[in-house]
Amino acid sequence: MPVTGAWRDGDPVGDRRFLQLDRPFVTEGGVVLEGVTVAYETWGTLDATAANAVLVCHALTGDSHAAGPAKAGHPTAGWWDGMIGPGRYLDTDRFFVVCANILGGCQGTTGPASSDPRTGKPYGSRFPTPSIRDSVRLQAHLQEHLGVGRWLAVVGGSMGGMQVLEWGVMYPERVAGLAALATAPAATAQQIAWSAAGRAVLEADPKFRHGDYYDAEPGDGPHRGLIAARMLAIVHYRSADEFTRRFARASIEPVERRFALDHRFEVERYLRYQGEKLVQRFDANTYRLLNLTMDLHDLGRDRDSVESALSRIRVPVMTLGISTDFLYPATDQRRMVEVLRAKGVPVTHHEIHSDVGHDAFLVEIDAVGSALADFLTGIEKG
């Protein structure tokens, strides 16, 4: 197993395209990054008036490969493959769909596994913590590069939804609609707590070496820490009802091993499988970094308050809550809707019933997609 699951220079590019900035990029934290590159993918064709472009923002462990099959350079199929394509909800016969890997990511956009041009070595622990606003500024560069004056919509769930909300506040004139799914205007204490626990788990792996592990021998990366962190994350991405439905109390052991110290339940095997899959395609530093990025997410930072920031949004917003989401609860989505409406922002709010938990925004393609498609049609009609 490689030391990191990050995509690195020399790996097959797959469907990625790249934009390298021709000037330094200064993060919100004040760090200057040279030669920042954004990896992105597009589907469909930009129309003559450049009015049909939709930016899709990925969540924590996503990347630019939102649609399309697994192939060289893309270890997994697109994370929203059922959503994006000809005749699908984000219909690429109508829309020009764009998805970029986030700053600090590990799938082609500059991040901790990238070479620091000053040293020629991977940044590792020296990569600065990006803010959600940094990523949105980078997406704005991409927008210019693509010749898109105004996104028809910016769309995303979870960490993607955080970017959507920042788009509305930072560039109200450069977007016509916002779809923020199962997300938060500012990370809550409990969201920070889960995230902090995951970071602690990763940092407890001595092979993490504070983030400077890229010169380790193959197989000697911080795999156990990342697997364990992913295992606990999966539990809060899903729901009690779904786990009961799928796994109940089933064990993978024969009855004579039921009191064995290494007894494994089906649900445990599932968690471990998810962890082992992530390690193949993700970078531990990016995992730590983007968890912190989400914790630091606060629309209200340096803007008086969350309410005041939300009041800057000038375009129609679609929001979506999931009945069994206890990480970004439906009640919190409704609270945000109330604030937006009180500020005069037009909001279409959906609540979907699903036992899948937070991940329903990725899994319940029909419920989420039909809501999204209606919203986009409404925006198109103005």
What is the contact surface with its own copies in residues (CB under 8 A)?
27-31, 125, 128-129, 131, 186-190, 192-194, 196-198, 200-201, 204-206, 211, 224-225, 227-228, 231-232, 234-235, 239-240, 243-244, 246-249, 258-261, 263-265, 267-268, 271-272, 275, 288-289, 292, 295-296, 298, 326, 329
Q: Which is nearer to its own copies, 167 or 194 (CB)?
A: 194
158 is catalytic: yes
Cα separation, 26 vs 66, in Å, equals 27
Q: Any residues with CB less than 8 A from the CB of 248 and at least 6 apart, and which?
A: none
Cα separation, 300 vs 292, in Å, equals 17
Question: Least CB distance from residue 380 to its own copies, whole Å?
Answer: 37
Q: Which is nearer to its own copies, 108 or 329 (CB)?
A: 329
Token readout for 129 is 């913590």
Question: Least CB distance from residue 324 to its own copies, whole Å?
Answer: 11
Q: Are 177 and 153 in contact (CB under 8 A)?
A: yes
Q: Are 225 and 208 in contact (CB under 8 A)?
A: yes
Q: Which is nearer to its own copies, 321 or 329 (CB)?
A: 329
Q: Strand 153-157 and strand 121-122: pairing? A: unpaired
65 is catalytic: no
- Exactly one of 158, 195, 311, 354 is catalytic; name it: 158
Q: Which is nearer to its own copies, 42 or 251 (CB)?
A: 251
Cα separation, 293 vs 60, in Å, equals 10
Question: Least CB distance from residue 284 to its own copies, whole Å?
Answer: 12
Cα separation, 97 vs 139, in Å, equals 13
Question: Least CB distance from residue 181 to its own copies, whole Å?
Answer: 19
- Exactly one of 223, 297, 350, 358 is catalytic; name it: 358
353 is catalytic: no
- Exactly one of 325, 332, 355, 359 is catalytic; name it: 325
Q: Which is nearer to its own copies, 64 or 191 (CB)?
A: 191
Token readout for 312 is 């800057």
Cα separation, 144 vs 242, in Å, equals 43
Q: Are 362 and 325 in contact (CB under 8 A)?
A: no
Active-site positions read 158, 325, 358
